[in-house]
Amino acid sequence: MSKILSFSKDFLGFILLVFFLLLFFNIESFKNEQAGFTVPDSWLNVNTIFLGIVIEAIPFILLGVFVSALIQIYVKEEIIHRYLPKNAYAALLPAAVLGAIFPICECAIVPIVRRLIKKGMPLHVGVVFLVAAPILNPVVAASTFFAFRTDLTVLYARMGLAFILSIIIGAILYAIFKNRDQLKWTKDELVGQQIVIDSKVTPRKMNRLKQTLYHAADEFFLMGKFLILGAFIAALFQTFLDRSVLLAIGSNEWSSTAVMMAFAFLLSLCSEADAFVAASFGSTFTTGSLIAFLVYGPMIDLKNTIMLFAFFKAKFVLYFIGVVTIVVFLAVVTLQLINII
């Protein structure tokens, strides 16, 4: 039964991708009424947005699955345990610093964190890296600087909030879950893990290279189908969601912050490009709500939610979304009420 469901998901993702690529390469034909068959403009827009998200995300997914495969093959569990502080709360700060060093956007972060947790990284430390890395890296800082170079408050607030809130989010989730395993493991992974533990076999260098490529390929196809599904749903929301209703209720600190967080979740933009979209809302929304958009979106969005549900237990994903949402919302509203942003 599970094989049938897995095959159905793969087949649906493949059909969706072929369908939208067909639309993309024949878009002029489908606009021409004389061709006898036309596609409504709204669905052509869905096609453009869908392919835009997929094409934008695939290079980062490739980066993520290769890093994930390298971690699987070359990083031993003992190394992770040796360099992480033994105290659970003391380990939160190095995780946030690690997120500031590695240029990984939110499109690639899920497979990397999943692999690190499988290698023995504590869940709460992985959570900090999951929410911090897509914002704190130098590429995102540079794009935010260029988008808001006339008002650097947005840059400083985005980076500062991401650093502090990632530690708070990790601490809260540690208090809830401690170090209980929240990953979904397949039978093959559990069997493979047992074989490695029992045999103590160290693969040769050539075998390691092949294993890295095999792991990267497997993970790319595994992640790819959830990326396609998430991009399709995000494209539907971007096309058919009546933004005028949301704009009408986004007139004060509370409602505008909530609206921009909802936008960030639904639009599923890459963290390395979202600052330019946020800047386009500058004349409509408050500075605080723009910062909420830039902090919340990279931490959790629609396409990443689908990936998280695929690889983590549902209870953990729901708590994670709830904690991130409440912490970001309260932090941004508080800073607005005391006139810091």
Q: What is the pLDDT of residues 187-231, one digit of tens each?
A: 666 555 544 444 444 555 557 777 778 777 777 776 677 777 777
* Whether pLDDT at 63 is above 80: no
Please state, in angstroms and rounded to a whole number, the distance separating the CA atoms of residues 237 and 280.
19
Please, what is the average pLDDT of the chain?
A: 79
* Whether pLDDT at 121 is above 80: yes
Identify the H or E element spanning 316. Answer: helix 314-337
* Mean local confidence (pLDDT), 115-124: 88
Residue that wins the pLDDT comparison between 333 and 204: 333
Residue that wins the pLDDT comparison between 6 and 150: 150
Least confident range from 150-154, 162-166, 200-204: namely: 200-204
* Whether pLDDT at 277 is above 70: yes
Please state, in angstroms and rounded to a whole number, the distance separating the CA atoms of residues 226 and 231.
8
Asked if the structure places residue 294 within a domain, the reply is yes
The secondary structure of residue 203, as a DSSP letter, is: P
* Contact assessment for residue 291 and residue 165, using Cβ atoms and an 8 Å cutoff: no
* Contact assessment for residue 256 and residue 289, using Cβ atoms and an 8 Å cutoff: yes
Q: What is the pLDDT of residue 308?
A: 92
Residue that wins the pLDDT comparison between 64 and 179: 179
Count of C-beta atoms within a 10 Å radius of residue 209: 12
Residue that wins the pLDDT comparison between 143 and 71: 143
Q: What is the pLDDT of residue 164?
A: 95
Residue that wins the pLDDT comparison between 22 and 298: 298
* Whether pLDDT at 293 is above 80: yes
Count of C-beta atoms within a 10 Å radius of residue 83: 9
Please state, in angstroms and rounded to a whole number, the distance separating the CA atoms of residues 312 and 317.
7
| Total count of domains within the chain | 1
Asked if the structure places residue 5 within a domain, the reply is no
Least confident range from 9-18, 190-199, 262-271: namely: 190-199
The secondary structure of residue 312, as a DSSP letter, is: B
Q: For residue 9, what pLDDT band results from cuts at 50, 70 and 90? A: low
Q: What is the pLDDT of residue 6?
A: 59
Of 230, 264, 289, 290, the C-alpha closest to 56 is 230
Please state, in angstroms and rounded to a whole number, the distance separating the CA atoms of residues 60 and 133.
13
Q: For residue 294, what pLDDT band results from cuts at 50, 70 and 90? A: very high
* Whether pLDDT at 108 is above 60: yes
Q: Which residues face 312 on adjacent strands?
A: 183
Q: Which residue range(s) make up the domain with 304?
A: 42-199+208-338
Asked if the structure places residue 23 within a domain, the reply is no
